[in-house]
Chains A and B, each alone.
Chain A
Amino acid sequence: MKEITAIIRRDKLPETKKALEELGYPSLTIQSVDGRGKQKGAMCAEMDSEMPESFCTSAKLKPTPSTYALEHTLPKVALYVPKRLLTIIVPDDVVTKLVKSMISVNRTGKHGDGKIFVSPIENALRVRTGEQNGEAIA
């Protein structure tokens, strides 16, 4: 079993869910997270894929009150971009297929498309029936 942790744009969530559903793996966990990558959260392109350019410039010029307050107590403030974190537990043999499909759905070509991590899972247990491992995620 593998755990696929995908950090994607907020507005790509419905499409990603649909793509996973079509491949037969509809179960997933979604979390709202804030993240930053190599661009250190400062790039406007990291937000939603359809964000108008005017929003970027105005958002940069006018910091929110909380950011403004932090800037005056700290020498520098770490910026974040809102993202959605998906967690999917799947059998080993479909990992490549799912990752490829998620990449094709989420790719816009701009910075901030996100990252996908694949890590091993040792055991799974369905609480209702007590089934273990592969049966629990089938």
Chain B
Amino acid sequence: MKMIRAFIRPEKEQEVVLALEGAGFPSVTKMPVFGRGKQKGLQVGPVHYDELPKTLLMIVVDDDDEKKVIDLIQAKAKTGFIGDGKIFVSPVDNAYTVRTGETGL
């Protein structure tokens, strides 16, 4: 299994989540985060924003679905401008459902 962490624009979150739901991946955890990237924030006239608000989506999927989910997030979260976000993938050994105690997603 893989854990996909996607840092996306907050306004794109609904679109991405609904697209994932449509593709059969309804389970998502989201949290608001603040961060900056290569551009060290954002300069608007005299005002410099060091940290910008983003939404972090956390999704755990089977290995086979990894590419599909990443492609979907990228397609929906893309605007073509700086600040679209990043996607990170990390391995997950095991998943447990608390209600049943079963392993697997």
Contacts and interface: CB of A to CB of B under 8 A. Distances in A.
Interface of A: 2, 5, 7-8, 31-38, 40, 70, 74, 76-78, 80, 83, 85, 99, 102-103, 106-120
Nearest to A111: B99
Contact of B29 (A34, A70, A102, A113): A34
Contacts, number: 88
Interface residues of B, number: 26
B94 A117 contact: yes
Contact of A35 (B1, B21, B30, B98): B30
B98 A78 contact: no
Interface of B: 1, 3, 13-14, 17-18, 21, 26-31, 58, 60, 90-99, 101
From B14, B90, B98, B99, name the one whose CB has the most chain A CB atoms within 10 angstroms. Answer: B98
Nearest to A104: B101
